[in-house]
A and B are shown apart, each in its own frame.
Chain A
């Protein structure tokens, strides 16, 4: 069980939250990318071995949407890698 820090409520039990999936890539201009790149954007979600940025919804709490960085190897919530938010 993880404890997740909501920006409004503070640290809360994971069960209060709903996972909103990884933060995806920036939407490319569909007219400026190849079909393969467009399909990749649509269907391939980030799944790294290590820190991944994820969206979470405090559904059974204040209703806030926010993102965290979680290390997929340990489930630890970690600092954003340098140069990212």
Chain B
């Protein structure tokens, strides 16, 4: 069975992993980042910079790769206080976009989570499984976007091609 979807392996993005108490991270980040999302597994976005609340006292920020150096200069990971952690992880994750009318069908093969609109809302983002691998899943325009560890990207791309063939 074939599906009406388009699969795109996205280019690298600027990614920073942020850990620490909300107040401490917000205070250190200042206006370098949008306001940190408080609700579990939600995201905020401002001027192309996104923030994902993906664990207790744990966020990931994503921005276009061109902004990586500028964000790093403002977040100063090597100078941050001991009670927070900021790590550049841009080269550790590969993003895929599954778009089209059957995007939900394809994702239902790969992922055990209920990704229907009524459950997994527009601003939802969460770690879960995709083809048994830990993956960061979120919505994108007309579909679903997810990221897996970079070293699994070729394998996941192959899985997607086989699943949609």
Question: Which residues of A are at the interface with B, using a C-beta cutoff of 8 A?
Answer: 8-10, 12-13, 15-16, 59-64
Contacts and interface: CB of A to CB of B under 8 A. Distances in A.
Contact of B129 (A8, A15, A62, A63): A15
B58 A61 contact: no
Contacts of B135: 60
B112 A62 contact: no
A59 B129 CA distance: 10
Contacts of B41: 8-9, 62
B112 A15 contact: yes
Contact of A12 (B55, B56, B128, B133): B128
A36 to B, nearest CB: 41
B40 A9 contact: yes
Contacts, number: 44
7 contacts: A8-B41, A8-B56, A9-B41, A16-B112, A16-B128, A60-B128, A63-B127
Given A13-B113, A64-B56, 11 more contacts: A8-B40, A8-B41, A9-B41, A12-B113, A15-B112, A59-B134, A60-B128, A60-B133, A61-B126, A61-B127, A62-B126
Contacts of A64: 55-56
Interface string B108-127: 00001100000000000011
Nearest to A59: B134
A62 B54 contact: yes
Interface string B123-155: 000111100111100000000000000000000
B134 A60 contact: yes
B127 A60 contact: yes
Contact of A62 (B58, B132, B133): B58
B126 A63 contact: no
Contacts of B132: 15
B129 A60 contact: yes
A9 B56 CA distance: 10
Contacts of B129: 13, 15-16, 60
B104 to A, nearest CB: 17
Contacts of A62: 40-41, 54-56, 58, 126-127
